[in-house]
Amino acid sequence: MIVSSVLVLLGIGFTAAIVLVAASKIFYVYEDPRIEKVERVLAGANCGACGYPGCNGAARGVVEGKAGSDVCVIGGPEVAANVAEVMGIELKVAEPKLAFVDCTGGDRAEEVYEYEGAKDCRAQAMLYTGSKMCPEGCLGYGSCVTACPFDAIRMGPNGYPVVHPDHCVACGSCVTACPRGVISLVSLSSRLTHLNLETDCLAPCRQRCPGQINIPRYIEQASRGDLAGALETIRERIPMPLSIGRVCPRPCESQCRRQHVEDPVGINMIKRYIADWELNSGERQPVSCLPDTGRKVAVVGGGPAGLSCAYFLRRLGHEPTIFDSMPKLGGQLRYGIPEYRLPNAVLDWEIEGILDLGIEVRSETKFGRDVSVTSLEEEGFEAFFLGIGAWQSTHLPIEGADAKGVMAGIEFLTKVGLGAEARWAKRSLSSAAATPRWTAREPACAWARTSPWSTAEPVRKCPQMKKKSRLATMKASSSRCSPRPTGSSRTIPAG
């Protein structure tokens, strides 16, 4: 009995073994051993920030060719190098991103109803999209803070989240948790190349700014003492805040809503103060640039357009070279704006900071004479930017405008900038203001329109010019330069 029982059990076991062997052959699933090796070198956080279900899923993605060596967003370059070594592939490191909060409203935003539900942004957003009047603003309950697994975000004192850049790994958890899209993941290149869109939530001043500067953000940063951050925000749009702060006509201030209460915010003066803070500190703030791409770009013209182009190309990792026909860079900033408004020392300091990023300059090199597209292509340049400037003045439609010794305003100011001798200029208040500083002579200004209709801003009219200039207005239909006095203005004899 016992023997037969043992034999039966052995038979059952033997049959089961045969079935399992057959099943393993039929239903066998091969697993690449590299999956385990890759998983071992990953960070092991299983955070899901890479978009895969845990580190095992990320390792499978790498082995299957669906993800690169930089799949682990929290591991950094070291983990990426280890993954590349295991896989025997080229090291690929993506441009780092950070969570960006595009809301500065917070507690200032008006409540449209009193909410007493769960203290969670997603819950409140289900009730008429939230209690804040601003449809794009932060609701302030900190769902993003709870969702972040790396303690990289907190609620600031003004009721909107603040990101800690040293802790943020761009996992995207906060982006997913925010029901209003206040937070996004952005990289340096995406910030530099983004232009205003109709779908962006923009303040009126920011919409009016020709440079598309994030005005509310840099004012908010400056208000809490973060001048370095404010300067970085400005430089994401314009590379020369020192110069622009001195010559900007401030169209943004005409759109400032504060003017409906009292006076508009001094937006340009704040920008100038921030830029002057860096100048007077004696230390340049760091300007981040992406890794070199090896792409060479020829920038023809060293004025504000060419300098801006070279600046942004360098920040994007390219290798720009500026070709300019003048002895010094600056274009109309140097040769078209008098030094009393934009000192050369300030301009030189700002241009030096741009060139220190690694930009080559070839001055007194004229395009079409010294270099050409063909010759530059032979040097390895792959792209070209032509910013040759606007150096020609328009002439007054009056008799004697082309007489000997008469110069247009831009021509006169260029000679002033070059230190050459000149006698007379036309067209410009800047020319008149520059004359007593340069020649010690008393300038005379004549308008073809009455003073209230002058295109020059009153704040730009120099006090010294007001004291030394004789002002008169001309008849618009006059065929000769014979002014007609108005008000207390004195007559200037023709000729």
DSSP state of 472: E
Query: Between 2.40.110.10, 3.20.20.60, 3.30.1330.10, 3.30.70.20, what CATH number should domain 97-193 receive?
Result: 3.30.70.20
Average per-residue pLDDT for the chain: 82
Q: Which amino acid is at 160?
A: Y
Largest CA distance in the chain: 142
φ, ψ at 396 (rounded to 5°): -70, 135
In the chain, CATH 3.30.70.20 sits at 97-193
- Residue 136 pLDDT exceeds 80: no
Q: Which residue has the higher pLDDT, 102 or 177?
A: 177
Model pLDDT, residue 271: 96
Work out the average pLDDT over 173-190: 90
User: What does the pLDDT read at residue 89?
Assistant: 77
By residue count, the chain amounts to: 495
- For 66, list phi and psi in degrees, rounded to 5: -90, -15
Cα–Cα distance for residue pair 150/145, rounded to 1 Å: 10
Three-class secondary structure of residue 471 per DSSP: strand
CB 125 within 8 A of CB 117: no
**In this predicted structure, which of 50-54, 244-248, 258-262, 457-461 has the lowest mean pLDDT?**
457-461
What CATH code would you report for 33-87? 1.10.15.40
Give the mean pLDDT of 219-233: 93
> Does the global pTM surpass 0.85?
no
pLDDT category, 318, cuts 50, 70, 90? very high
pLDDT band at 402 (very low <50, low <70, confident <90, very high): confident
Instruction: Answer for the pair 136, 182: CB distance below 8 angstroms, yes or no.
Output: yes
Q: What is the predicted pLDDT for the residue at 51?
A: 75
Nearest to 432 by CA among 424, 442, 447, 443: 443
Span(s) in the chain for CATH 1.10.15.40: 33-87
Residue 392 pLDDT: 78
**Which segment of 132-136, 213-217, 406-410, 451-455 scores lowest on mean pLDDT?**
451-455
Specify the domain boundaries for CATH 1.10.1060.10 within the chain.
204-281
Query: Rounded to whole angstroms, how far apart are CA atoms 479 and 111?
Result: 64
d(CA 268, CA 241): 10
pLDDT tens-digit readout, 436-484: 555 555 666 655 555 554 555 654 544 444 444 444 444 433 434 434 3
3-state SS of 166-227 is: CCCCCCCHHHHHCCCCCEEEEEHHHHHHCCCCCCCCCCHHHHHCCCCCCHHHHHHHHHCCCH
Q: Which residue has the higher pLDDT, 204 or 64?
A: 204
Go through 157-173 and write b for each residue having 16 or more CB atoms within 10 A of its CB, e for each that does not: ebbbbebeeeebbbbbb
Kindly write down the DSSP assignment for every residue of 45-63, as one continuous string: ----TTSSSHHHHHHHHHH
> Residue 443's pLDDT is what?
63
Among 205-219, 242-256, 353-367, 388-402, where is mean pLDDT lowest?
388-402
Residue pLDDT, tens place only, 258-303: 999 999 999 999 999 999 999 999 899 999 999 999 999 999 999 9
172 torsion bin: left (phi>0), alpha (psi -120 to 50), beta (else) = left
Which residues does residue 198 pair with via DSSP β-bridges, in sequence order? none
What crossing angle do the helices spanning 267-281 and 215-223 adopt, rounded to 10°? 60
Asked whether 384 and 301 are in contact (CB, 8 A), the reply is no
Which CATH number among 3.90.320.10, 3.90.1210.10, 3.90.1170.40, 3.50.50.60 corresponds to the domain 296-386?
3.50.50.60
CATH architecture of the domain formed by 204-281: Orthogonal Bundle (1.10)
